[in-house]
């Protein structure tokens, strides 16, 4: 393998039409992001960081849905020579549980099957990054992130599904949230926010982003962000403020400005939104906005988009 990649191999599962690979992207936070769907029982993961611990889950897809069948962990060395990690074998038992394997794979955890079966025309969207935090007041779990349409199709009904796991990989719940943009053309990205009471017994969760093919004769009204500025106020809130404009030929009855905060590595830190003043814009009208955040660790950059609700 190349010095910045690692090969994962797992046992084929009878009746499986495809396999889905999830990874925590080396974050160590127990958040598993969907990486790829493949018909093979091997995959090369590239662009790994040095000195990191990567955790993986593999799901088998059949006519009855998706079943988690294996998991593995690989530690990358301090240098970019991954020969120490090399080829990671991810074995599967007949009952679908993970088997013990040589180091660096830890002792296995039985994983009970996972998410709801997908419609046949489902489009899998790319999950670029995600994180979560607890609300300051009531401890509500907030999951934020960003998806991208990596296909050649126009996609609508874009949804992010979080599957929650308790001890020993037992599924304890599921939650769905739409992406901020209602429709995604090829290559377009969109932030998302899922907010819910923290499930009791939550150990970790996985995320999956999907959509349905559509013909986009029209898409969201195109509102321009004219300028932005960011600052921290005296009470400790972080603000991204600025001006938007309606450059189109029709009136926008309800505009909304969504701001995504990123860390130095381009990973999502938080996502927030606010309604501009005024929130209704006639053609060529402009409006001021101010999106504030109470959670904003290590913010390096931001992106503001204006959409029509």
Is the pLDDT confidence value at 66 over 80?
no
Looking at domain 123-213, which CATH architecture does it have? Sandwich (2.60)
Q: Residues 298-307: pLDDT tens digits?
A: 899 999 999 8
pLDDT above 50 for 121: yes
pLDDT band, very low/low/confident/very high, at 29 (cuts 50, 70, 90): low
Parse the chain into domains and list their residue ranges: 5-90, 123-213, 224-308
pLDDT tens-place string over residues 155-171: 988 999 999 998 877 88
Fold topology of 224-308 = Immunoglobulin-like (2.60.40)
Q: Do domains 5-90 and 224-308 have the same CATH topology?
A: yes
How far is CA 194 from each of CA 9, 134, 146, 174, 264, rounded to the nearest angstrom? 33, 12, 12, 11, 23
Return contacts of 274-281, CB within 8 angstroms, 24+ apart.
Answer: 276/244, 276/306, 279/254, 279/255, 280/251, 280/252, 280/253, 280/254, 280/255, 281/223, 281/244, 281/245, 281/246, 281/251, 281/252, 281/255
| pLDDT given for residue 166 in this prediction | 87
If pLDDT is split at 50, 70 and 90, which confidence band does 230 have?
very high
Q: DSSP letter string over 91-139?
A: -B-TTSPBPP-STTS---------SPPPPTT-EEEEEEEEEEEE-TTT-
* Domain 5-90: CATH architecture, name and number where available: Sandwich (2.60)
């Amino acid at each position: 393998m190349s010095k910045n990649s690692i090969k994962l191999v797992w046992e084929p599962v009878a009746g499986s039409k495809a396999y889905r690979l999830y990874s925590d992207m080396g974050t160590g936070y127990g958040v598993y992001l969907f990486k790829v769907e493949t018909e093979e029982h091997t995959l090369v993961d590239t662009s790994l960081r040095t000195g990191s611990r990567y955790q993986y889950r593999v799901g088998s897809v059949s006519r009855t849905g998706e079943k988690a069948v294996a998991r593995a962990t690989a530690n990358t060395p301090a240098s970019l020579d991954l020969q120490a990690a090399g080829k990671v074998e991810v074995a599967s038992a007949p009952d679908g549980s993970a088997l013990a394997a040589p180091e660096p794979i830890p002792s296995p955890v039985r994983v009970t099957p996972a998410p709801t079966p997908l419609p046949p025309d489902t489009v899998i969207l790319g999950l670029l990054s995600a994180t979560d935090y607890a609300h300051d007041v009531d401890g509500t779990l907030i999951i934020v992130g960003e998806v991208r349409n990596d296909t050649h199709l126009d996609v609508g009904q874009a949804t992010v599904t979080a599957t929650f796991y308790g001890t020993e990989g037992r599924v304890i719940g599921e939650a769905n949230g739409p992406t901020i943009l209602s429709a995604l053309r090829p290559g377009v990205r969109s932030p998302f926010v899922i907010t819910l009471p923290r499930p009791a017994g939550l150990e970790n969760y996985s995320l999956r982003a999907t959509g349905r093919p559509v013909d986009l004769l029209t898409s969201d009204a195109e509102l321009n962000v004219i300028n932005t500025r960011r600052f921290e106020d005296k009470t400790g809130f972080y603000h991204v403020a600025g001006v938007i404009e309606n450059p189109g030929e029709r009136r926008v009855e309800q505009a909304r400005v969504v701001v995504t905060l990123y860390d130095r590595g381009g990973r999502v830190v938080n996502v927030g939104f606010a309604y501009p003043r005024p929130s209704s814009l006639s053609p060529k009208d402009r409006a001021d906005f101010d999106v504030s955040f109470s959670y904003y660790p290590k913010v390096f950059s931001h992106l503001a988009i204006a959409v029509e609700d």
